[in-house]
Chain A
Amino acid sequence: MTDLATYNFAYLDEQTKRMIRRAILKAIAIPGYQVPFASREMPMPYGWGTGGVQVTAAIIGPEDVLKVIDQGADDTTNAVSIRAFFQKVANVAVTTHTKDATIIQTRHRIPEQKLGAGQVLVYQVPIPEPLRFLEPRETETRKMHALEEYGLMHVKLYEDIARHGRISTTYAYPVKVAGRYVMDPSPTPKFDNPKMHMSEALQLFGAGREKRIYAVPPYTEVVSLDFEDHPFEIQKFEQPCALCGAQGVYLDEVVLDDKGGRMFVCSDTDHCEDRREHGHAGEMLAPNKEAAE
């Protein structure tokens, strides 16, 4: 292999990383506040996690261990591509095990296994502004954040209840961070909102197209908005994971045929594999390893 394609460590040049780190520091100092930053073009399309990739590139070091998940899975296109990208441009160790990772870049999910101090969770955010769909003017939403005028957020929840009888927002469920800023936790299911509260891990959010970075520092209060008579609830699943039998985890529905056959499996593939290795089995798990192959 020639040295034709040589990159600076982690793709971005040092000045860019410095600029992003400054934005990250400011974001950590003001939990939930969206810090504008000079987002760069990345060698992937918008919507594939350009914001998350820039944040990861700015904070990653040679001794870091990276895990990338997409909808909880380590083996889907987006996750595989980003993992390969950082292997190539930073030559860092990668893993699929949540507990071994120091940096976890995610799209949509927070791993089932509780994150610990020293770990960093990097979210890829498509639309950072929680008020956007109700108030299209950026000047106005900034003013609303500045003056803490968040009545509009409840208008959205009111509409949910009026139409569906309950708060039907299931993802990107708005939260209030440290009692001040209302934040969009990116398109994570609301199932994961309680995990953000008082998390030991640092949580960073990067929106590449919208050029915003925000953060939730460790041990920060994150409260999901609700009404007194319609309190916040997370999704509940009727059956356990069909492969590992786990309960109280977030499940994906997999359609098996065109006759209504379906199964519900853990969205967090690492968690599911780990449980199976430890002898847990769901009702649809093949009896032994050979049969599965």
Chain B
Amino acid sequence: MTDTPLLKVSGVSKFYGSRIGCKDVSFELWPGEVLAIVGESGSGKTTLLNCLSTRLMPTTGSIEYRMRDGNFRDLYHMSEAERRFLMRTDWGFVHQNPADGLRMTVSAGANVGERLMAIGDRHYGNIRETASDWLTRVEISTDRIDDQPRAFSGGMRQRLQIARNLVTGPRLVFMDEPTGGLDVSVQARLLDLVRGLVNDLGLSAIVVTHDLAVARLLSHRMMVMKDGHVIEHGLTDRVLDDPREPYTQLLVSSILQV
């Protein structure tokens, strides 16, 4: 089974009128693999991520996902009900701004439990137990379970958002700048945590970032985007240590050294 990819993307393009969002992107993602999409602002990273995660319909191209029964389904040929079900069970989406991915007015426990209740869990005790278990796993003390995310720091919110997404045991997680807006020490802890969780759970992930350090730490493979096109694609270490395209070389050399 591991010989078959989890996600097959072929020829995905998204045009905003005559402007290009992303053009002719094709790749395959394998189970347990973390793929980073890097590039500067406006390079089409987020457009591509939204196309992949069914949040934005691509103009052309197909995206096929291997369901739990082993069959490939084209995401945009599924019914909306199936797509939404997939999104809240088998997938996760970690937003850059935790407020977009969390319900800020309900407690941390309910935030984590929401997906469980959405798939039919109706036992309060079990839901709470699972929620507190997940809070522990993302290093949030369980006595904060009844606090609203509004009372949490940025780093805690982001970890809560991750817990909320992972509670249903998804196989694929999309992350849009997961460390954006966090200070470096919190960033480091979060990256460590995410790396641990991805390894433990055997998740596949697609991480959009402009931070090459994040890509280096988390990802196995990376794609470099510029002006909507994928200009370089390869193993992370190879791309970062031996960039081929002039733009990638520029990008790598622009990293500030302390």
- Chain A interfacial positions (CB closer than 8 Å to B): 134, 143, 147, 149, 151-152, 154-156, 158-159, 161-163, 226-230
Instruction: Indicate whether A227 sits within 8 Å of B122 (C-beta atoms), given known contacts A159-B106, A162-B107, A162-B146.
Output: yes
Are A155 and B84 neighbours in the complex by a CB distance under 8 Å? no
Contact between A152 and B124 (Cβ–Cβ < 8 Å)? no
Shortest Cβ distance from residue A174 to the other chain B in the assembled complex, whole angstroms: 13
Which residues does chain B contribute within 8 Å of A227, judged by CB atoms? 122-124
Cα A69 to Cα B84 in complex, Å, equals 43
Complex Cα gap A162–B147 (Å): 10
Q: Which residue of A lies closest to B120 (CB)?
A: A151
Contacts of A228 in B (CB 8 A): 122-124
The chain B residue sitting closest to A225, CB to CB, is B122
Q: List the B side residues contacting A152 at CB < 8 Å.
A: 114, 117-118
Task: Check if A162 sits within 8 Å of B119, measured CB to CB.
Answer: no
Partner of A159, one of B110, B115, B119, B125: B110
Decide yes or no whether B149 CB sits under 8 A from chain A: no
A230: chain B residues within 8 A (beta carbon): 124
11 A-B pairs within 8 Å (CB atoms) are namely A134-B106, A147-B80, A147-B81, A147-B84, A149-B118, A151-B115, A152-B114, A155-B113, A162-B110, A162-B128, A229-B123
Contact B81 A155 (CB under 8 A): no
Nearest B residue (CB) for A154: B117
A155 interface neighbour in B117, B120, B125, B128, Cβ under 8 Å: B117
B145 at the A/B interface (Cβ < 8 Å)? yes
Contact with B119, one of A151, A163, A226 (Cβ below 8 angstroms): A151
Tell me whether chain A's interface is mostly helix, strand or loop, or mixed. helix
Name the contact of A229 in the complex, choosing from B84, B113, B118, B125 (C-beta under 8 A).
B125
The distance from the CB of A39 to the nearest CB of chain B, in whole angstroms, is 29
Contact B124 A229, beta carbon cutoff 8 Å? yes
Chain A to chain B: the 5 pairs with minimum beta-carbon distance, closest first: A151-B118, A154-B117, A227-B124, A151-B117, A228-B123
Known: A155-B106, A163-B146. 17 other contacts (CB 8 A): A147-B80, A147-B81, A151-B117, A151-B119, A152-B114, A152-B118, A158-B113, A158-B124, A158-B127, A159-B106, A159-B107, A162-B107, A162-B146, A163-B107, A227-B123, A228-B122, A228-B124
Given contacts A152-B118, A158-B113, contact A134 B124 (CB under 8 A): no
Any chain A CB within 8 A of the CB of B44? no
A162 CA / B146 CA spacing, docked (Å): 7
Q: Are A162 and B145 in contact (CB under 8 A)?
A: yes
- Chain B residues in 8 Å Cβ range of A149: 84, 118
> Could you tell me which residues of chain B, from 80 to 133, have a CB within 8 Å of some CB in chain A?
80-81, 84, 103, 106-107, 109-110, 113-115, 117-120, 122-125, 127-128
- Residues of B215-233 at the interface with A, using a CB-CB cut-off of 8 Å, are none
Check A162–B109 contact: CB distance below 8 A. Answer: yes
Cα of A156 to Cα of B123 in the assembled complex, Å: 14
C-alpha gap A151/B87 in the complex (Å): 14
Residues of A within 8 A of B109 (CB): 158, 162
Chain A neighbourhood of B113, CB < 8 A: 155, 158
Of the candidates A147, A158, A226, the one whose C-beta lies within 8 Å of that of B110 is A158
| Chain B residue with Cβ nearest A227 | B124
A163, B105: Cα distance in complex, Å: 13
**Which residues of B from 176 to 216 have beta carbons under 8 Å from A?**
none
Residues of chain A with a CB closer than 8 A to B106's CB: 134, 155-156, 158-159
| Bound CA span A163–B119, Å | 23
**CB neighbours of A158 from chain B (8 A):** 106, 109-110, 113, 117, 124, 127
Q: Which residues of A contact B110 (CB under 8 A)?
A: 155, 158-159, 162
What residues on A are CB-neighbors of B81 within 8 Å? 147
Cα A155 to Cα B123 in complex, Å, equals 12
In the assembly, what is the distance between CA of A226 and CA of B123, in Å? 9
Q: When chains A and B are docked, how far (Å) is the Cα of A229 from the Cα of B123?
A: 6
Which residues does chain A contribute within 8 Å of B115, judged by CB atoms? 151
- Chain B residues lying within 8 Å of A147, measured Cβ to Cβ, are 80-81, 84
State in angstroms the CA–CA spacing of A230 and B126 once bound together: 12
Rounded to whole angstroms, the CA-CA distance of A134 and B106 in the bound complex is: 9
Pick from A134, A155, A229 the residue with the most CB of B within 10 Å. A155
Whole-angstrom CA separation of A152 from B113 in the bound complex: 10
For the complex formed, measure the closest distance between the CB of B84 and the CB atoms of chain A, giving whole angstroms: 6
| CA A44 to CA B123, docked complex, whole Å | 45
> Which B residues lie within 8 Å of A154 (CB)?
117, 122
Q: In the complex the two chains form, what is the Cα distance from A147 to B117 in whole Å? A: 15
Docked-complex contact A161 and B124, CB < 8 angstroms? yes
Q: Is the CB of A155 within 8 A of B114?
A: yes
Asked if A134 and B118 make an inter-chain contact with CB atoms under 8 angstroms apart, the answer reads no
Which residue from chain A places its CB closest to the CB of B106 in the assembled complex? A159
B26 to chain A minimum Cβ distance, whole angstroms, is 31
> A229 vs B126: C-alpha distance in the bound complex, in angstroms?
9
| CB neighbours of B122 from chain A (8 A) | 154, 226-228
Question: Once bound together, how far apart are the Cα atoms of A229 and B122, in whole Å?
Answer: 8
Closest CB of chain B to A240's CB: distance in Å? 33
| Complex: A282 Cα to B109 Cα, angstroms | 46
In the complex, what residue of chain A is closest to B115 when comparing beta carbons?
A151
Least distance between A139 CB and chain B CB atoms (Å): 13
